[in-house]
Amino acid sequence: MVGIIDYNAGNIRSVERALAYLGLEYRISKKPAELEKADRLIFPGDGEARFAMRELRSTGFDSFIKDKVAAGTPLLGICLGTQIILSHSEESDTPCLGLVPGVVRRFPKDFPSRGLKVPHMGWNSLTTWNGGTALLEGVPADADFYFVHSYYIDPEDPKIVTAVTDYGMDVPCAVKFGSVEAFQFHPEKSGVPGLRILSNFARADFARGGASC
């Protein structure tokens, strides 16, 4: 069963609708205890880092997520849920969960003068790095995914980056670190390719590591 973590940070219902469309067993909850039996977790979110971390602490999801990941439970981060698994965010100078060593950085200040809008919003393709990830298995190489973000992830170890997108620079947009995988884009809003990612994540063999692509 897939557990969807609802911590009042938005983007929850679109993930729920995607899993329902795929016919997957899931449970969405604001209470950690109700997701204790989930064999994998989706950690979505839109919004601001400091607010999100405050909500995680007030609900107990901060320690719940850390404990589940420490126990090897697969966790899929999406958008803000990807950013706040890192150590720190430049957004409001926010200490984050620290599941993945690294910093969330604001796009460079010169982007507007270079004709690059912030937030980065729209459809972009991916380039796989470091062997990619099994979650992209069956996804066409030229597939586009939907992005909307003003900050980007900068992991301490570039070897954990599994995909980047080109937006004025190589923007890390997918990482794999232990049982944690995370995407800056929105699979649940990215049509058939995004649904394939969610379906891959829900596969029974993914919890055992699956096969890398």
Pick the catalytic residue: 79, 120, 149, 181? 79
Tell me, yes or no, if 96 is annotated catalytic: no
Q: How many CB atoms lie within 10 A of CB 94?
A: 18
Q: Find where tokens 């409001």 sit.
A: 92
Q: Choose the catalytic residue: 16, 55, 181, 188.
A: 188
How far, in Å, CA of 147 to CA of 185, rounded?
5
CA 162 to chain centre: 12
What is the DSSP annotation of 126-161?
Answer: -EE-TT--GGGTT--TT-EEEEEESEEEEES-GGGE
The residues pairing with 26 across neighbouring beta strands, listed in sequence order, are 2
Going by DSSP bridges, is the β-strand pair 94-95/86-89 parallel, antiparallel, or unpaired?
A: antiparallel
Residues 6+ apart with CB under 8 A from 204: none
**Strand, coil or helix: 68:** helix
Known active-site residue 79: yes
The residue annotated as part of the active site, out of 16, 149, 181, 186, is 186
- Cis amide bond preceding 101, omega within 30: no
| Residues composing the chain | 213
CB 81 within 8 A of CB 43: yes
Catalytic residues: 79, 186, 188
